[in-house]
Structure formats: structure tokens, C-alpha cells
Structure 1
Amino acid sequence: MTLAPWNEEAWRNLHERRQRNALPHALLLCGAEGLGKREFADAFANALLCSVPRADGYACGECRACRLFAAGTHPDIVRVNFELRDDGKLRTEITVDQIRFLNERLSLTAQFGGGQIALIDPADAMNNSAGNALLKTLEEPTPGTVIVLLADHPSRLAATIRSRCQRIEFRVPAAAVAGQWLQKNGVDGKGAQDALVASDGNPGLALAWSRSGAIQLRGEVAKDLHDLGAGLVQAWDVAQRWSRDQADLRLRFAAALAQRQGRASVQGANSPLALTAATDLPKLAQWFDQVNRTRDLLRGPLRPELALLEVLSAWSVGQGGNSSKMERI
């Protein structure tokens, strides 16, 4: 397995610690979605379980342990992810029962005679009871056990959990590195540039959005926000349309556009929406927070068009019918 180039240093550091038998018993891999921390966690787990790892620390890919790992049947790895509810939908939190089961598993002897590894993803979705249940295991780990927590939003984890983990940050790479990586994956030229702008420099998201057509969706969101601010469309019409197609992603783009708008206003640079003056920055910040709260509401039972109507109406009112021309993004 080959990791993204911006994650190679973190891999070398962990490999060096493993050679010195100085691996921590708990790791917190954190950073924005799309930076490769999940691929990193899988490669690391595979390497720990591999019978004959390579000199660079990666798994050999050929031994029995590697074949079981690839098939998803290795007995010494425990994955804790979102489970299905009784109605067949995925839960939006990791529950205390899942962590209790994990604790019981980790208290047993490893079947292959080595250690055990647990992957909790997303760890920042543990509810309070689940987090409290994990603390005892973090404080008194079973010998040979490594627990890996993955979090897009590590600040949501309790400080008591964060303090018991060795933290590895996954950061946005330099633009040149991201651009070269996108080119190797079939996205180059203006497409790569547009995708990196949309993703705020995040190459993993840029690649995914380029392949899925999400970059065009971002343009639609920008136009809708401009037209709402100019009084050219009604909030209810936009809310209904957004509710039918990738509402969460549309809100994500809306929040990012508002953030870029505010940044541009402060810097006196060209803005993505050409709507909000610097004097409106407090309103812009309030709306940014409202968008993110609405994204959380969409995970609940509330009708999506009603949640979207509230936030889009707030945008329309906040812009006061500005009719300036939107720049091309």
C-alpha cells in the first residue's frame, strides 16, 4: 500500500517508534476528511498484524495475517463504526454498548499470539457514556493492544480522552504537492485548480468532488446564494430544490462560500459571491454558524425543506436584496 505523499513523514515516525518498541497504546488520528487518515489507519493496523512486515514498515501483503486482513476476517482487529438502527438506518453516534463490547474483546488473548488493534471511527461521534466507558481501557490498556481513534473534529472528544492518546495531525499539504498528486490521479489543469479552491486545498476532497461532479454543484450553490441576496429567487423554491438533492453537501458548500466571502472582505480581495460588505461580517459569521447547525438538524427527523427554508431565508434577509453581479468562480 502506498500512502499519500503528505502522510509519509507520520508513517516514518510511527515505524521508527515501533522499531524501538516505543509505540503508544492509543493514537488519535485527526484532521479534515479527505487527507488520508483512514487509509493510514488501515495500513498501520495491517502492518501491526503482519507476520513479516517490510523494511519500510508496511505489511507484506502475502502472509496469512495479511490475507485475513484483506478479507476482513482477521480475528485480532476490532472495528467500531456506526451501526444500523432497528429501522435499518445508520446511527449517528457510537453507543456505550459498542464500547463495552470493544472492552470485552480487548480483554481477551489475541488469537494469533501477538497483539490486538482497535479502530474507532469516527471517535468524535461517541456519546458521553461511550466515551466514559472507553476511558478505563485507555487508562489500563491490555498489554500489546493498540487503540486507534479517528476524528474529523477532535475537539468534540472529551479532554480526558484526548490527553490519553498520542495525537497525529493530518494537515492540508502544500499546493504544489496537492496539485502533483491530483495530476497523478487524472485531475490536472484548471480542473485541479478549481477543485482545490472548492476544497480549501484538501486534495482528497478535491479528487472525490472532481469525480462526482460536486464542483458543478458548488457553482449552483453560489448562484443560488447570489440570486437569493439579489431577490431574484424565493427561499422556499431553493429550499425545496436543495432538499431533493445532496442537501448536506450544498450546505457545506454554502458555509465554505460564506467563510471565503468574509475572508475576502477583510483582505479587500475578490470575493466568491460579491454580496457582503465588511460591515456585514458579524451577520455573515452568524449565518455560517446557522448553516452548520442546520447540517446537524438534517440528521434528525425534521423535514429537510423546513430546516433549509429557515437558513436560506436568513441569508436572503441578511443580504438585504443586494443585486451586484456575482464573480465567476
Structure 2
Amino acid sequence: MTEFSPWQQRAYDHAVAALDGGRMGHGLLICGPAGLGKRAVAERLALHVLSGGNAAHAQRAAALMAAGTHPDLQVVSFGLTKDGSKLRTEIVIDQIRDLSQKLALTPQYGTAQVALIDPADAVNRSACNALLKTLEEPAPGRYLWLLSAQPARLPATIRSRCQRLEFRLPPRAEALEWLQGQGHSAAAAQEALDAARGHPGLADQWLREDGLALRKQIASDLDKLARGQLGVVETAQKWANDELADARLRHAADLVLARASDAGLTDTARLTKLAAWFDAANRTRDLLRTTVRGDLAVAELLLLWTRQMGEPRPTRAARG
């Protein structure tokens, strides 16, 4: 069984104490920044519930869960489109109705059933209405856990019917110690953690996947675009036409968010432009999951960057 990070262990211990003490209801919203291990904690909690604290049952439940065949654990995420050609970009009402029907059945092992919806903020509006009904009419021994990095996207009616298990960024010293425990040098851990603004999961991912180099390249591209030293179309094609497209836009949005923080209240015009572009970058990330041509969507985004952040070109008199 994979060892938890300190922040995962704290969240797990807190949830188990609430479960065992009868202080946790059927609806739970597990939320916090992406990359902190919410899903792993939810699955370990499910194992705790489904095994009933029995070591023998836990071994069997763990094997079934690993194979994805435990009959009393339902996981709802992005399903295939009707033609089976690709994954959907949202969780639809048929999936929630199917989940509700399964939760109405008698558990096959023990007395409990657990359902995980991940990411819960991808549940579309009509599916949210069906989900609300399931939350409002729980059967005994049924647990419905919603995982989300963006809980504000969920309707207030859903959030209000769930208890919260919230993941937060750990203290810097703890994050650095954990990163070094993953095999990273102290210097690399510090650089990556600073770039990730204290997020150890992102820092670890970037160190393993050469993400820091990609991040520096994106920062350089943004600066060169603003100075007119790179072409929008060529840069958009470079950013959009491989498997790193989403990572590039994520880095770009994060870099711009950091610049907005640096601008603060001293340059409100720049702050407004950066905030608008940050929102546009995240919308473009969503578009990349659709049938829209990625290079065209990214080109539009980069064109907006050059218009908003581009340096004014000198006049002929200034050149002379």
C-alpha cells in the first residue's frame, strides 16, 4: 500500500475518526488543489468503509478495488461519447441516474456502498439536479463522496448537503522534506517548490517530467511575444500540436497569475489585463478538450496576449 504524504495522512486520520465516531454523514465533499492526492485518500477511506475494519475483509476488498471490480464501490468520471470515439468533457445525467440505481441495491459484501464522483465539478447542470435528489434521499450505509479541485463550480445546493474534507498546501518545511524524500536534491526541491508557489505535488511532477524547463520556455515565449520577437501563428502551432498542450497553457496561466500578484494594486491597469488573460487561458484549456482546432484556439489566446501586453512600437521619429 502506497505510503501517504503527511498532508494526506492528516486528512485520512481526520476522516476515519469522523467515520468511526459516527460524525460523518453520507455526503462528503473532498476538495482542495489538484495534485495533493485527494483520490488516493478517498480510495483508502473507501477500503476502510467496505472492509468494516476487518483485516481479512480488507485484503479481499483491496484486491477487488485494485482490479476495479468491487461491486460495492462505484466510481463515476468521464465516460465515453455515444460513438465511443473519445471521452466526454462532462459527467452527464445518465451516469448519475445509473449511479443512483446501483446505490439503491443491497450491498453484495458487508452493509455499505461507496460512490466516488471525480471530478464532481464536471457534473453538468441536469446531472446536478439528479445528484441533488440522490444526496437528499440517502439509503442507510450509502456514502457519496465528491472530489473537486474547484468546488465553487458546484451548485450551492450540492455543497450545502455535504460535509467537507479540505486539503490545503502544507507548511514549506514539510513540503521540502517530503520532496527530498522523493529523491530530489534540496536545491531542486526549493526551486521547484518556489515555482509551484508552495504546491509539493506540482513541484514533484515538474521535477520528474522536466516541467521546470517547459515552464521557463513558456515564460520566455510570453516575453518574446510581448516584444514582437515571436510570431503568434508559429508559437500557437508549437504550443498546441503535441501532448504537452494542456501543460503549456497551465504553465502560462500560472505564470500570468504570479505576475498579477506581483503587480498588486500598484498597477491596476496591468493587473486587470493579466487577470483577463488568465481567465482566457483557462477557457482555452477547456476548449482543447473539445473538437475545436487547438492551434486556432491557442493562436487567438496568444493574439490577445500580444494586444494586451505587447510593447508599443516606436514611431518613425523615435527611431530616428
Fold conserved between structures, TM > 0.5: yes
Q: Which residue of 2 aligns with 1:105?
A: 102
Matched position secondary structure for 1:147: strand
Q: 1:315 aligns with which of 299, 305, 314?
A: 305
CA contact (8 A) 1:49 1:66 kept: no
Change beyond 3 A, Cα 1:131–1:231: same
In the TM superposition, 1:68-147 aligns within 5 A as 68-85=64-81, 86-147=83-144
**Taking structure 2 as the reference length, what is the TM-score of the superposition?**
0.91
Counterpart residue identity of residue 291, structure 2: P
- 1:41 matches 2:47: no
Indicate the larger mover: 135-144 or 18-27.
Answer: 18-27
| 2:281 corresponds to | 291
CA apart distance, 1:99: 0.5
Residue 280 of structure 1 is matched in structure 2 by 270
State the partner residue of 1:200: 197
The farther-off stretch of 70-79 and 148-157 is 70-79
Which residue does the alignment assign to 1:66? 62
Identity value in percent:
48
Q: In structure 1, what is the Cα distance between the partners aligned to 2:56 and 2:229?
A: 60
| Contact 1:229 1:322 (8 Å CA) reproduced | no
Aligned counterparts of 1:313 and 1:200: Cα–Cα separation in 2: 27
Whole-angstrom CA distance in 2 between matches of 1:322 and 1:250? 26
- CA displacement, residues 176-195 of structure 1 (integer Å, 9 cap, x when unaligned): 11111111111222221222
TM-superposed CA distance for 1:52, in Å, is 3.5
1:231 corresponds to which residue?
Answer: 228
1:87 CA drift (Å):
4.1
Match of 1:306 in 2: 296
2:232, 2:302 within 8 Å by CA — same for their partners in 1?
yes
Q: 1:44 to 1:239 in 2, by over 3 A?
A: same
Distance 1:188 1:300, change over 3 A: same
Report if the CA contact (8 A) 2:24-2:163 is conserved.
Answer: no
Match of 1:158 in 2: 155
SS of the equivalent of 2:109 reads coil
Counterpart pick for 1:220 among 217, 240, 243: 217
Which is further off, 152-161 or 186-195? Answer: 186-195
Deviation at 1:226? 0.8
Secondary structure of 2:9's partner?
A: helix
1:51, CA displacement in angstroms?
A: 4.4
Query: Does structure 1 conserve the Cα–Cα contact (< 8 Å) formed by 2:51 and 2:110?
Result: no
SS of 1:63's partner is: helix
- CA change 1:250–1:60 in 2 (3 A) is farther
Distance of 2:134 and 2:308 partners within structure 1: 49
Structure 1 match to 2:182: 185
Number of equivalent positions: 310
The 1:309/1:63 distance shift into structure 2, 3 A limit, reads closer
Whether contact under 8 Å (1:290, 1:311) holds in the other structure is yes
Shift of residue 76 of structure 1? 0.7
In structure 1, distance between residues paired with 2:155 and 2:58: 39
- Which one-letter code corresponds to 2:255 in the other structure? L
Amino acid of the residue matched to residue 106 of structure 1?
L
Between the aligned partners of 1:21 and 1:283, the Cα distance in structure 2 is 49
Cα gap change, 1:322/1:213 in structure 2, threshold over 3 Å: closer, same or farther? Answer: farther
CA distance in 2, matches of 1:46, 1:62: 7
Instruction: Give the whole-Å Cα distance in 2 for the aligned partners of 1:185 and 1:154.
Output: 29
How big is the shift at 1:225?
A: 0.5
* Separation in 2, partners of 1:139, 1:159: 14
Once structures 1 and 2 are overlaid, which stretch shifts more, 223-232 or 297-306? 297-306
RMSD: 1.9
Gaps of 5+ in 1: 54-58, 269-276, 324-329
Query: In 2, distance between residues paired with 1:293 and 1:38?
Result: 25
